[in-house]
Amino acid sequence: MWQTVGQDRAVAALQRALAGVRRAHAYLLAGPPQVGKATLARELAQAVNCEGDDPPCHECTPCRRIAAGIHADVQTVTVDASGDGAIHKDISIDQIREVGRSVSLRPFEGRCRVIIIDPADAMNEAAQNAFLKTLEEPPPDVVFLLITARPQLLRATIRSRCQRLDLRPMPVAAATQALVERWGLPERRAEVLARLSRGRLGWALAVQADEEMMRARREALMDIRSLPQRSLAERFARAGDLAGRFGRQRESVLEVLDLWSQWWRDILLAAAGCQEAITNVDLADILRAEAARYEPRQVASFLRSLAAARRRLEENVNPRLALEVLLLELPVPS
Ligand SMILES: [Zn+2]
C-alpha cells in the first residue's frame, strides 16, 4: 500500500525492516530535492502507527491524521522561520533540546513517536552535538527520520547511527508513465514535466499545481541566455547579488547554478543534434538557435567551470570570488 512512487529499493528496505523485529531507531533519507523524501517519511510515520492490516493503509484514523499533519506523535523539526522575527538559517540547539524533552514522554495517541528533521543538514554544530546525545541513548517507541539532500554535512557519528536510504530520480519514461496513470496528466504534458524535473516527481507535481513556477523558470532561463551579452560591471553586480543571497539562502543559489548547468548542457546537446536528450524540451527551438552561436568547446569548458564553482560554494570558500570568476568565464557568442 506504499504510495511513494519510483523509490522501490528504499520502500522494500523499509518493508523488510517493519516486518521484522529490527526496526532502526533512526533513518537517513538522502537524495536530491523533491525526489520523494518527505513523502516517504510521512508514509513511514503512517506505517509505524497504522491500525490497518496492510500498513500504511491510508484509511485508518492514525494514517489520516498523519496525512493531515495533525497527529500528536508525529513532529517535524525544521528551520524556524517565524516566532521572534529574527531570520534563522539553522535548526538550533534549543529546537533539538525541545525534541529531547518530548521524546522522553510516552507517545500521546499512537504507538510510536516519529520525529522528522527536515532538512537535517540545517542543524548547526551545537544542534548536531545535542542530537547525537539523543541518538546515543535512543528512547523506546521513537523513530527519527533525517531528511537531507547533502548527507555529507552531517557528522559521521550521526550518519553511522542511522540506517541510510538513498532516494534517486526516476527514469524519465517511468516518471512520465506515473504522471499519466496516477495523476491523470495528458501524455505530452507529462513528458515535458518528467523531462524538466529530470525524474523528480515531487518537482513535476509542484509545477503542475502552480503554473507560476513554470513561468518563473522560463524567465530565469531567458536571463541565463542574456548573461553572455552583459557588461563586466553587470556581471560583477550579478555575482555580488548571488553571493549575498548565498549567505541567507544557500539552497536557492545552488538551484540557480543547476539551472545554468542544465541550460548549457542542453545547448551542447542541441549542437550535437541530440534533441532527445535535452532537458528543456519546451524551449527546443530557442536552444537550437543558441547552439549555432557558440563554440561547443567553450560551452564544455564553461560547464567544467560551473562544476568547480559549485564545489567551492559547497566548501564555503569565498563564494563571492567563486561567482565572479564563474561569470567571467561565460562563453562568448558569435
Ligand atoms: Zn493505516
Read off the pLDDT of residues 14-33 as tens digits, 9 standing for 90 and up: 888 888 767 889 999 999 99
Average pLDDT estimate for 121-131: 94
**Distance from Cα 74 to the centre of ligand 1, integer Å:** 14
Cα–Cα distance for residue pair 282/193, rounded to 1 Å? 9
**Distance from Cα 102 to the centre of ligand 1, integer Å:** 24
Taking all residues of the chain, what is their mean pLDDT, rounded to a whole number?
91
**Distance from Cα 120 to the centre of ligand 1, integer Å:** 27
**Distance from Cα 332 to the centre of ligand 1, integer Å:** 58
Cα–Cα distance for residue pair 92/130, rounded to 1 Å? 10
| Share above pLDDT 90 across residues of the chain, in percent, rounded to a whole number | 75
Predicted confidence (pLDDT) at residue 232 exceeds the cutoff of 80: yes
Nearest CA to 278 out of 289, 263, 291 is that of 263
Predicted confidence (pLDDT) at residue 124 exceeds the cutoff of 70: yes
| Predicted pLDDT at 110 | 85
**Distance from Cα 140 to the centre of ligand 1, integer Å:** 21
Structure-block grid coordinates of residue 290: 543558441
**Distance from Cα 65 to the centre of ligand 1, integer Å:** 10
End-to-end CA distance of the chain: 56
**Distance from Cα 1 to the centre of ligand 1, integer Å:** 10
Residues paired with residue 76 on neighbouring β-strands, in sequence order:
116
Predicted confidence (pLDDT) at residue 83 exceeds the cutoff of 60: no
pLDDT in tens, 286-305: 999 999 999 999 999 999 99
**Distance from Cα 137 to the centre of ligand 1, integer Å:** 29
Residue 33, preceding bond cis, omega within 30 degrees?
A: no
What residues have their beta carbon closer than 5 A to ion ligand 1?
A: 50, 52, 57, 60, 63
Cα–Cα distance for residue pair 255/252, rounded to 1 Å? 5
Which residue did the predictor score with more confidence, 231 or 85?
231
pLDDT in tens, 178-202: 999 999 999 999 999 999 999 999 9
DSSP assignment string, 25-85 = SEEEEE-STTSSHHHHHHHHHHHHH--SSSSS-S-SHHHHHHHTT--TTEEEE----SSSS
* Interacting residues of 191 by C-beta distance below 8 A, sequence separation 6+: 172, 176, 281
| Predicted pLDDT at 106 | 87
